[in-house]
Amino acid sequence: MTVTPFDHLDTARDFAALHLLREKAMCLVVRQRPNGTPELLVLDQPEAPEAGVQLPAGGVEAGETPEAAAGRELGEETGLNLPPSVYLKSYLWEAQLPDCLTRQVCHAFLFLAPPDLPDEWERQADGERFAFRWVPAATASLDWEMDAALPDLLRHLSASPMEPSHD
């Protein structure tokens, strides 16, 4: 599996269009603990443990911007209605899966969440059950190279104070 970063969102989108690749919007949702520690929202799929630890994410639909797709996917999967606050990065993800080679362009967005959200919750969406939990952002471990934007997230968090949305 390989990750190749793009220098700009428009460059990534042009590459995806040129090569007819699926675009995926990734949601890095962060809340701040009372002690100041930022936590990242991750999900597990209890009926599919082989799916590993992931972020809320999904495909960009025709005519939709990656930012709009990120907000839509976050709402569909988590039930949260938060506006994206920062575009973090785009990258090409390539992986040889058991039955095929997959290539997709991923766009990562930061969402700031209020600190009073539950520590854990479950939600049914699109016929799948998702179990959500918070982990320390600095030590988060994700599968499927979903951690490719974590260095960008941590850089942003160290440079900017968190001001969560209360929508």
- Percent of the chain past pLDDT 90, that is, above it, reads 75
Question: Within 13 Å and on the Cβ side, how many CA atoms surround 7?
Answer: 0
Please tell me the predicted confidence (pLDDT) of residue 97.
75
Q: What domains, with CATH codes, occur in the chain?
A: 2-155 (3.90.79.10)
| CA dist., res. 132 & res. 122, Å (int) | 6
**How far, in Å, CA of 1 to CA of 23, rounded?**
17
145: tokens are 């190279």
Residues of the chain with pLDDT > 70, as a percent, come to: 96
pLDDT of residue 167: 45
Residue 99 pLDDT exceeds 90: no
DSSP conformation letters of 6-49: -SSHHHHHHHHHHTT-EEEEEEEEEEE-TTS-EEEEEEE-TT-G
Q: CB within 8 A of 119, min separation 6: which ones?
A: 133, 134
Helix (H, G, I), strand (E, B) or coil at 139: helix
Q: At residue 77, does pLDDT exceed 90?
A: yes
What's residue 166's pLDDT?
A: 47
Q: Which residue has the higher pLDDT, 82 or 99?
A: 82
Q: Report the pLDDT value the prediction gives residue 156, as an integer from 0 to 100.
A: 93
Output Rg (C-alpha) for the chain, integer angstroms: 15
